[in-house]
Structures are given as structure tokens and as C-alpha cells.
Chains A and B, each alone.
Chain A
């Protein structure tokens, strides 16, 4: 069974960089065929797509966050990462990683449990 697990600091100071890692088990990131994605859910709100990374390292970022986002993949550890620079209180959210099969008719089939990141001094 495919499992994803987010990890990283639960508290980030304003202006610092929010860094999260998603560890994947039960599937190999290098098998291809999937976009490894990040989302966030602001308190009491809907879901926002942040971007995705392919195992080759190619990326797509939501234009609304593009200037602050970097995603990468570590194939040796079977994990992928998110960095969001210049964090503000508006970035306080539950962050999820998820897998998206590279087929337009697919949905996000496996998700991590989510991790709450608060941006506060």
C-alpha cells in the first residue's frame, strides 16, 4: 500500500523559510508516471494547490506562489520536499503531500495525513 508522510517544523518564524519533506513508502518515486504534489489547507478553508515535482526534477508551481516556492526530489531516500521562503502568518495552514497519476482523467489517489505549520514569532 502506498503511504505518504509529511515531516518538518510545526512552527516557523515570519520571514523564515518553511521546509517540509514527504517520505514515500510502498512505491518508488523513480518508477515514473506520477506527479508528487503539495497542497495546503488554510484554517477552516478549502484546498490550495502549491505545485508538483516529477522524479526527473522537473517542476510546476502555482503562479500565485511561484516566486517563493522550490520543490525537489531525493530519489535515494524516496522522498520529495517543499521550501516556501519569506513565510508570513498567511502561510499558516495544514500542508499535505499527495500523488497524482500523470493521466488527466485521474485524481489525487494517495495523500499524506497532513502537517500543521504555524508561522508566528
Chain B
């Protein structure tokens, strides 16, 4: 299985901050990396697919980059509704695997 490692596991930030979350794959996954946002008690929401493709309706302050083994999710100006846990997921090969999550807190 491809192992996905996120860092940091949690971070404290303020409204307006620029936030960067990284995800590393245990082997090359090309660009097949997706990012999700999850708020307590709710299902994950797809933000970005194929490393950098923003899903319809997702604010442009979210962006993704990377290829191969190293990927980044950036929130350019953190908003109150962005406090949540973020997961990466590889769709390069089955079994699909997820990072352990990054909790973004105030």
C-alpha cells in the first residue's frame, strides 16, 4: 500500500493567515492526489483533485500543488469557516489511502 504522511498533524492559526499543509507519498503517485476538508460530525468534502484542480464551488483561496511524492495544500487567507481537518488521499493505485489528517485550529 502507498503510505501518505501529512504534516503538521495540527496547527494553530488566525483569520487572515496563510496556511500550508504538506502531504508526502511513500512512492511516486504522479499528480493523483486529492484534498478533502472535514468538519466535526460531517462527511469529508472534496476540495481539490489531481493535485491542483479546484472543485466547483470551492473558494479560490484554496490551492494545491505538487507531483511525484510531495504535495501542498495552501489556504491563502484563512477564514472562520476554514477551521477544520484536512486530509490528503491518493487515487494512483488501490487500495486508496489517506493521510492521517491536519487539524487547523484557532
Contact = CB atoms under 8 A, between A and B. Distances in A.
B53 interface: yes
Interface of A: 45-49, 60, 62-64, 96, 98, 100, 104-109, 111-114
Interface residues of B, number: 27
11 contacts: A47-B87, A49-B96, A49-B98, A98-B43, A100-B91, A105-B31, A105-B50, A109-B46, A111-B43, A111-B44, A112-B43
Contacts, number: 62
A19 B92 CA distance: 29
User: Which interface residue of B36, B44, B50 has the most chain A CB atoms within 10 A?
Assistant: B44
A114 B99 CA distance: 19
A106 B101 contact: no
Contacts of A45: 100
A100 B46 CA distance: 11
A62 B95 contact: yes
